Amino acid sequence: MPASSRITRRGVLAGAAAGAITTSIVALGGWRIGQRPVLSPEASGAAGPQTGRTPLAIPPLNEGAVGPDGVREFALAAQAGTSAFLPGKQTPTWGYNGPFGGPTLRAAEDEQVRVSVRNDLDEVTTTHWHGMKLPALADGGPHQPIEPGETWTAEWTVEQPASTLWYHPHNHGTTEAHVYRGLAGLFLIDDAEPPQDSPLPREYGVDDIPLILSDRSFAADGSFAEQHRSAAGMLGDTILVNGTVAPEFIATRAQTRLRVLNGSTARSYRLQLDNGSLELVGTDSGLLPEPVMIDGITLTPGERAEVIVTLEPGDTVILRSAAHSLGLLGTTERASGTRDSFDILAIARDTDDDDSVGSPELADWVAAGGFLAAPFPADAEPDKRRTVTLQDSKINHRRMNMNRIDEVVTVGDRERWFITNEHFLPHNLHIHNARFRVHSIGGREPAAELRGWKDTVYAPPSRTVIVDVEFGTSTDPHLPYMFHCHLLQHEDQGMMAQFVVVQPGETAGPLDTPAIRDGGSHDSH
């Protein structure tokens, strides 16, 4: 449907379902975050007359092109530009192939992909494929710097099933700033052979909708303010969803799939719907075998969730972030914004569409024996146990050192990691080139929202999170992967460590990367 007809249909929606819309306007008051001044929907020049909201921006889909060699090729350019988030203000921003954010890349399991990234910025950056299993050379961490004017090319074979991954800078010491300025996009992986009769919504931008959440503060001139720092990092008073302030989405199908990424550098979200439960179908690194109904899901920076929203024609629901707890001391909770509650997105179903007639409901399909993903593997004894403790700016009592190999993983081993946050601040842990399942938290079974495939997990103070990790199949004794806290200020401060993956019996090291040769051989800070 072209954009113009969508706008016309919004008018129809407001006329025919005035009751529902009026109710939602009343419910829309809640943009206030914390005690700081916030932007009301009315303050936005693009505010629509019906719901008071701006149409949600959808990042462009980029499926690349398959060349004669059978490789699916993508081209990205990191560049500076300006974006209009506030009425009458231009905000200097960074983006991939545009002024802010980045295209949604899409490829399938078993495909070979090649992505070139040109750096049109005036400082060195990197591009990391978060959640991807791939050779260390292609990982895009701090060891693969892209100098201004240069192009870096990463190539790998997708070796994981359907999942919602993402990409962002990972430069040594400046990751937070580069992400905050706007560099982030999604990388969707499809199953090699998606179940043909699956009613899981999969039409990008129509019923399969990405939601990249981030928060920003603005200076008087409209630029991003980088000074609102808490112990967790930068907290903004304005929520951007795909770069849109106070957005609405007009659903044209009975079921809409939302792929939600916490792209904030510090803020934690508690996703809820204002009219009931969430139907969770996927977490960070893949789909659940079957949907599960949950009250809500907490996303700390870097985590993702896929949920299904079901609407009758004329219905409006609000996706919100509720006040929640990360199990911290009172004042520390504020550092992650957990006391804030606010609206994320209004989703209104068109009144005059009848796409719902006969449309299969996911729940019915599952009840009839359908499944979204392979069943989870049974618990098995790990081949290797590893302890990861988190302290102030440190992992296992050490700060990041680009020259040091902290851990050596043997390819094919199933590893059980015991992650303990020994600090009073919120931290999470993200492991590159891997996916994992949460075995237990503080000796208890994980909540339903944490039972899927993960690559990033929140680590509450004084408790041990036990995860069973499955690494990618590539090996390289000389090039490392990272594991780190995904609160990006903490990562930049040194809360990161390195591992290599080797063949059985192979000796690890020495590390040999351009970043080290070019003088990256210093301790961070």
CA atoms within 13 A on the CB side of 478: 8
Pairwise CA distance, residues 166 & 153, whole Å: 17
Shortest distance in whole angstroms from residue 493 CB to ligand C2O: 14
Q: What is the CA radius of gyration of the chain?
A: 22
Q: What does 170 interact with, of ligand C2O, Cu ion, none (CB < 5 to 8 A by kind)?
A: ligand C2O
Size of the site for Cu ion (CB under 5 A): 6
Minimum distance, C-beta of residue 146 to Cu ion, in the bound complex (Å): 17
CA distance 146 to 119: 6
Looking at the Cβ atoms of 162 and 165, the one nearer to ligand C2O is 165
Cα separation of the two ends of the chain: 52
Does residue 482 interact with ligand C2O by CB under 6 A?
Answer: yes
Site string for Cu ion, 429-468 (x = CB under 5 A): ---x------------------------------------
Choose the binding region for ligand C2O from 57-65, 156-164, 237-245, 479-487 (rule: CB under 6 A).
Answer: 479-487
Does 53 contact ligand C2O by CB under 6 A? no
**Binding residue for ligand C2O, selected from 53, 130, 172, 435, defined by CB under 6 A:** 130
Nearest residue relative to ligand C2O (C-beta): 130
Question: Which residues, 6 or more positions from 89, have their beta carbon under 8 angstroms from its beta carbon?
Answer: 218, 221, 222
Pairing of strands 407-410, 496-502: parallel
427 interacts with, out of Cu ion, ligand C2O, none, CB within 5 to 8 A per kind = Cu ion
Which CB atom, from 199 or from 302, has the smaller least distance to ligand C2O?
Answer: 302
For residues 269-308, which are near ligand C2O according to CB under 6 A?
302
Could you tell me the smallest distance in angstroms from the CB atom of residue 295 to ligand C2O?
27
Closest among 322, 312, 265, 501 to 405, alpha carbons compared? 501
Distance, CA of 19 to CA of 32 (rounded, Å)? 25
Task: Report the length, in residues, of the chain.
Answer: 525
Residue 484 binds to Cu ion (criterion: CB under 5 A): no
**Is position 485 an interface residue for Cu ion (rule: CB under 5 A)?**
yes
Q: Determine contact, residues 471/502, Cβ cutoff 8 Å.
A: no
Q: How far apart are CA 346 and CA 308, in angstroms?
A: 14
Cβ atoms within 10 Å, residue 233: 24
Residue from 10, 130, 216, 454 in contact with Cu ion (CB under 5 A): 130
Nearer to ligand C2O, 300 or 475 (CB): 300
Q: Which residues in this chain contact ligand C2O in the complex, by CB under 6 A?
A: 128, 130, 168, 170, 302, 430, 432, 482, 484, 486
